[in-house]
């Protein structure tokens, strides 16, 4: 089987066999075995330069949904993003998506939700810190336009033989010590793409941005505020770094931002009210 294979997760498939996810040749990897350890099929999914599959979920159609991360140059520089791959019952690709933007983004856990969609947990860089990241999708992996993109994936089939090793079990004595800790409830929740907003009464309507894509000036409309709170407009890149920040003009329903000095790529424009996120919109800049 080789020494370039790493396994991160093992689950029992709906048919009683076992499914394993990880990496092989530094690519996302999926393998199905029977309960005796015989390999039924094994595949790697090539996207970007290298990556892995941290978790796999057995879907109701007898297929599999796996998540992890890959590195790619889609944004014009080498960046890491999370990847979401959906396969059929024999591991053949149905669709695949990059998710969460580029920078230092990874996915480590996926579950199914009651609306037949998926919830994906991982981490990302926001500012200069690592933060927890949560993504909600529909049954086809769509987030409603929040930092998801279709990607091409090439599948490689492997036909490994089973290698038998003589194993000798040894007994282990262990003593457990109960540990109790009350962790402090600290931290800040940041909505990367929350189209409903956190403080919906602070703006009387949803904002719009035009042109989008843009290359010099963007105009934001729908800014007729209902609040006396301190409100600002921020433009962040995909790593969470704030590129532009300026006060919201509460005397006008629209406001312009000069983006002529920014590089091509995806950005997130957010409206904050007293430090709380109200609305987010994705902005594409093309040069």
Q: What is the pLDDT of residues 14-26, one digit of tens each?
A: 999 999 999 998 8
Q: Which comes out higher in pLDDT, residue 147 or 98? A: 98
What is the CB neighbour count within 10 angstroms for residue 3? 5
**How far apart are the C-alpha atoms of 260 and 285, rounded to whole Å?**
9
Say yes or no to pLDDT of 115 above 80.
yes
Q: What is the pLDDT of residues 185-211, one digit of tens each?
A: 555 666 666 544 334 444 445 788 999
3-state class (DSSP) for residue 119: strand
Q: Average per-residue pLDDT in the chain?
A: 80
Q: Which two tokens stand for residue 208?
A: 């719009």
Say yes or no to pLDDT of 178 above 80.
no
pLDDT of residue 104: 78
Q: Which two tokens stand for residue 286?
A: 């093309």
pLDDT of residue 34: 93
* Domains located in the chain, CATH noted: 5-158 (no CATH), 200-285 (2.60.40.10)
């Amino acid at each position: 089987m080789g020494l370039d294979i790493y396994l991160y997760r093992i689950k029992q498939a709906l048919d009683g066999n076992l499914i394993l996810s990880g990496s092989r040749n530094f690519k996302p990897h999926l393998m199905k075995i029977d309960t005796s350890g015989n390999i039924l099929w094994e595949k790697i999914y090539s996207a970007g330069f290298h990556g892995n599959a941290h978790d796999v979920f057995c879907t109701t159609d007898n297929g599999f949904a796996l998540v992890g991360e890959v590195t790619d140059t889609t944004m014009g520089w080498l960046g890491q993003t999370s990847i979401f791959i959906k396969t059929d019952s024999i591991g053949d690709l149905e669709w695949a998506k990059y998710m969460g933007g580029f920078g230092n983004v990874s996915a480590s856990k996926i579950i199914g939700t009651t609306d037949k969609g998926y919830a994906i947990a991982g981490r990302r860089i926001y500012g200069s810190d690592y933060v927890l990241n949560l993504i909600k999708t529909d049954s086809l992996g769509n987030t409603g336009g929040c930092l998801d993109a279709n990607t091409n994936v090439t599948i490689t089939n492997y036909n490994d033989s089973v290698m038998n090793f003589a194993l000798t079990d040894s007994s282990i004595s262990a003593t457990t010590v109960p540990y109790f800790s009350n962790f402090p409830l600290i931290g800040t929740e940041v909505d990367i793409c929350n189209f409903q907003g956190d403080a919906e009464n602070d703006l009387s309507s949803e904002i719009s941005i035009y042109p989008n894509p843009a290359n010099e000036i963007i105009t934001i409309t729908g800014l007729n505020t209902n609040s006396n709170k301190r409100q600002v407009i921020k433009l962040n890149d995909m790593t969470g770094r704030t590129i532009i920040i300026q006060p919201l003009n509460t005397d006008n329903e629209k406001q312009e931002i000069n983006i002529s000095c920014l590089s091509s790529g995806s950005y997130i424009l957010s409206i904050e009210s007293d430090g709380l996120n109200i609305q987010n919109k994705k902005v594409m800049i093309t040069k």
